[in-house]
Amino acid sequence: MTDSKKKWFALYTKPRWEKKVDKALQQKGIESYCPLNRVKRKWSDRMKTIEEPLFKSYVFVRVEDKDRTEVRYVDGVLNYVYWNGKPAVVKDDEIIEIKKFLKDYEDVEVKNLEVKPADEVVVNAGVMVGATGRVLRVMGNNMVEVRIESLGFVLTAKFEKKNLLKA
């Protein structure tokens, strides 16, 4: 396989199966990455540093489009993460940044973005990456409706909160 055709994709896994899925993919010769966060936990008699998945129920896999189906048959994989009806592609730079960040920091916390109507946000994933817009409404815990003005048009789209940053 040529590296130039390979892309990173995010996978949903069964709950608490991230490490098992990562290991199974690697045993099949498939490049994968399960970001592990080093956290300190208190045992009854001592403090211990353990590694736990940074993103619950997510593993990243780097494959060619033609090999995507094979990945879905690995035990513990539920599905690809989809964006606009297609498996979401994660940029190489984003994977590199996650690796660097976890190398330099311990006890990293992943937080949901708290936004409210009228907040200005920047899209940080998907086909609209880099676009700025204004929150129209928040729908449930994960979805946000954002108005993006560009080229004289107003686009209204629904985004997952994890794909937005406050501007």
Averaged pLDDT of the chain: 85
- The confidence score (pLDDT) of residue 112 equals 62
pLDDT tens-digit readout, 124-157? 766 677 778 888 877 776 677 777 776 455 566 6
Q: CA–CA distance from 132 to each of 17, 30, 38, 71, 162 (Å)?
A: 35, 36, 33, 34, 15
Name the amino acid, one letter, at 156: T
Domain 120-166 in the same topology as domain 3-104: no
DSSP 108: -
What is the arithmetic mean of pLDDT over 84-93? Answer: 86
Domains of the chain by residue range: 3-104, 120-166
Q: How far apart are CA 122 and CA 130, in angstroms?
A: 6
Percent of the chain scored above 70 by pLDDT? Answer: 86
Distances (CA, A) of 42 to 50, 55, 82: 10, 21, 37
164 exposure class (CB count in 10 Å sphere: 0-12, 13-18, 19+): buried
pTM of the model: 0.68
CATH of domain 120-166: 2.30.30
**CATH number assigned to the domain covering 3-104:** 3.30.70.940
What's the confidence (pLDDT) of residue 32?
Answer: 98
**pLDDT for residue 127:** 64
**Is the pLDDT assigned to residue 29 strictly greater than 90?**
yes
pLDDT greater than 70 at residue 74: yes
Of 52-56, 60-64, 152-156, 159-163, the poorest mean pLDDT is in: 152-156
Contact between 102 and 36 (Cβ < 8 Å): yes
Please tell me the predicted confidence (pLDDT) of residue 2.
Answer: 58
Q: How far apart are CA 53 and CA 33, in angstroms?
A: 10
